[in-house]
Structure 1
Amino acid sequence: MAEDFPMPPLNSLPQAAAVEQGKASVDFIVQDLQRRFPSYSTERVLLIDGIKQKMELIENGQVSQTWVISVAQKGLGSLKGSEQTPTGVHRIAQKIGAGAELGTIFKARQNTGRIAEILTGADERSTGDNVTTRILWLAGMEPNVNKGGNVDSYERYIYIHGTDEEGRLGQGASHGCIRMKNQDVIDLFDLVSEDTLVVITPN
């Protein structure tokens, strides 16, 4: 007769350990932001994982929502002209596009009045790198990392925005910005305010 082995404690299981590790990471990030940027609220913080291609909304120290996103096809980096997504701490400097119809195409942050065809197939490609529906324009908070000189995220026009290539989400696809589903970026736009802190990490 096979010997019965007791079930290991819940906190020893890989999933539980991952959850605990994730909570510790969130706590560390929030505490670090409070220490380094005390004049900014940490009630709501956006955390973007540039490797896993996901974004989390942290509310009062807890992950409340998660979205699939796309960062740059060329990976992570802050140099002007690199077409990479910058890392580090940012803030939402401007919110643009309130009330625009889902799929609205923006050029130079202006509503063109045109509506994009939303492509949902993994192999479908748009004719342009369209910015659609809403724009959250990011400004870097860390000098020489994403602020000032040739690494300035704001001057690089780094946005969180909707895309007409929704089928490519979950993999690197942009020219530096953070892409979202159009309905997702509408939902996010309504949840966050200007000066919300945004942390972009490589893991």
Structure 2
Amino acid sequence: MDRASRFIYAQSLPIEAARLAARVSDRSLVELQGDASDVRVRQMLGQLHLMAALASTVDARPDVARDHLAEATREAASLGDRADGGGFNGCCFGPTNVGLWKMSIAAEQGEYGRIIELSRTDPLAGAQGIESPTVVLVDIGRALADGGRRDSEALAAFIRAEQAAPVPFAINPLARDAVVTLAQPAQRRAIPDDLRLLAGRIGIDLDA
């Protein structure tokens, strides 16, 4: 398998194969080092560090994940965001994408306070190459809903996620669970119309 194919293979691995994804990413990182003077290769290296960081987090190796994330952050700071948002091979690698991956890693670790901290400035403002912001916005919504202190902000994040990609949002089990959970404290009062409408659009009857 050549280096480009291995990179695509690493990207395609499901999160359930975290250990394999980490091994494939690590091997690709070693193989690409010889061409690290090429900006396109550096974008792939940075993205591989991000993939390895998430895979290592899922695989319960936080120290390894931290090292990969530090390398990705350093590389992104040097390269900056791509003007077209996508960059080489659709990596979308740069400071904006690193910020989004940091949020995904924080979500995997259950660090909701960290997600809120990272989302204080709009994390999607420079993300032209991100195909769907749904996953990021669902993570933000879940973090805001944690503890029930920011339900209105959480609802706004979920509505934005649903507007950006209605079908992926509707079939996302984390999103559906979050909408139902958000309605539970509201039922002691009155369920906001926006929440009831959102639930209805994804096939959830809050009155059932």
TM-score, scaled to structure 2:
0.23
Q: Which has the higher contact order (CA 8 A, sep 6+)?
A: 1
Which structure dedicates a bigger proportion of its chain to helix? 2
Which structure dedicates a bigger proportion of its chain to strand? 1
